Amino acid sequence: MRSVLFIIFLFYFSFSFSNEKTSPHLFKLKNGMDVIIIENKRAPVIAQMIWYNFGSGIEEKGKSGLAHFMEHLMFKGTRKFPDNYYSNYISKVGGSENAFTSYDYTAYYQVFPKSELKKMMKMEADRMTNLTLTKENVEIEKRVILEERFQRIESDPSSKLDESMRSILFPNHYYGRPIIGWRHEIEGLTYEDVLSFYKDNYKPNNAILVLSGDVDLEKAKKLSKKYYGKIRKGKKEKKLKVTDPDLDTNIFVKMKHSTVKQPIWKKFYRTISYKSDVQSSIALDMGLKIVASGTASLLYQNLVEEKKIFSVVGGYFQGLTKGEGNVYLYAISKEKKPSSEIDSIIMNEFREIINEKLTPKRFEIEKKKYFFDTIYKKDGVLNPAQIYGEALTVGLTLDDIKKWQERVDNISLNDVKKVLEELYDNGNYVIGELSN
């Protein structure tokens, strides 16, 4: 149930929340915890999300996987609510829950009837500071995580290749090590490592509480102060900010595995992010959707349907990060071709699209789709909590979110072409090949 990687569709969220129904109320508790209330009275349901502003990025070198390990252990119970009490209670009242760890954040959420708000806040606040950890459950969970790593990465050649490519693309940054951790480092994690990580980082001033749905603002303020406001804040440690050098060489990674039926070509770029440049990132996201996203994309239409060179081709932009963003391109050739030739075919087509095939008509269609996607993806009680929580945790502001649609409206075809040209000229990439 607990996922290492954040749900993939969050990478594509738009953030236009200018209408009154979803306008958030933000306040800060005395211990430094930020609280966001998003009122939506359409159904008697509430989503509670806790966004911790750290993920695997704060792990000490040599102890990779601690953040994800801790996410698992947060479901082990407290003295007040032992073992599986919390999860069983949520199930009993007809609710749902989950959690996920990323490089930059760790998040926990519950969706439940509005009548259960007080109890849910009480239980979530309790495990922020009173988690029951024993050497026995740490060792048991370690075995679970090692098996998860085997299932998700070590038994999946494509994931193994991705892991290797990221470690090369980000040689200095924590984005280069796996969120779940390296196997040999997971095996070396101890009860003391886990306990220290929990005590040092699970603090209210490291967290954002988001309540979305049929929640009353004044009641939410009162309950937030009662349950979360009493928790003592922790020390704010200054984290060393590291960046990666430019990749001045052409880097190619090849992995062979007997189970691979068709060779897969991949290309990973380091790029801008929404934190570094909101406007350009929107343009890049929009441009990649036109060029490489799905069967309606220009790359797919030109190289799969018309020229029939590939059976699959695509790509996407991942920019909701505290550090640099990423662009992922991938393809499966119908006939065996060297990776250098595949790269040449795709990049030549990429250049032709920018120069000739990215028309004003196609751009306006994509811009309208972007607008409607914004409407669809802010529906419900959980989606707004996810959107605001993730955006604020990676370093965007409420003003950035409120002005999102205005920024989208201001994007021009020239803006999109400019960022696509910059991607075309971007030398910070790694090419990978998976074959048998």
Q: How far apart are CA 314 and CA 293, in angstroms?
A: 6
How do 207-213 and 251-256 pair as beta strands? unpaired
Question: Facing residues of 266 across strands?
Answer: 330, 432
CA end-to-end span of the chain: 32
Q: What is 173-190 written as a DSSP string?
A: SGGGS-TT--HHHHHH--
What tokens does 252 get? 């190619």
CB 186 within 8 A of CB 65: yes
| 8 Å CB contact between 144 and 21 | no
CA distance 138 to 194: 8
The strand ranges marked E within 114-187 are none
The two tokens of residue 120 are 């849910």
**Distance from C-alpha of 43 to C-alpha of 429, rounded to nearest angstrom:** 47
Separation between Cα atoms, residue 365 and residue 374, nearest integer Å = 14
The span from the CA of 204 to the CA of 384, in Å, is 21
Give CA–CA dist 53/97, Å, rounded: 19
* Active-site residue, from 20, 39, 60, 71: 71
Kindly report the number of other CB atoms within 10 A of residue 406's CB atom: 10
- The length of the chain in residues reads 436
71 in catalytic set: yes
Alpha helices in 37-84 (DSSP H): 66-73
Which residues fall within 8 angstroms of residue 376, CB to CB, at 6 or more apart?
A: none
From the list 309, 300, 342, the residue with the least C-alpha distance to 434 is 342
Residues with catalytic annotation? Answer: 71
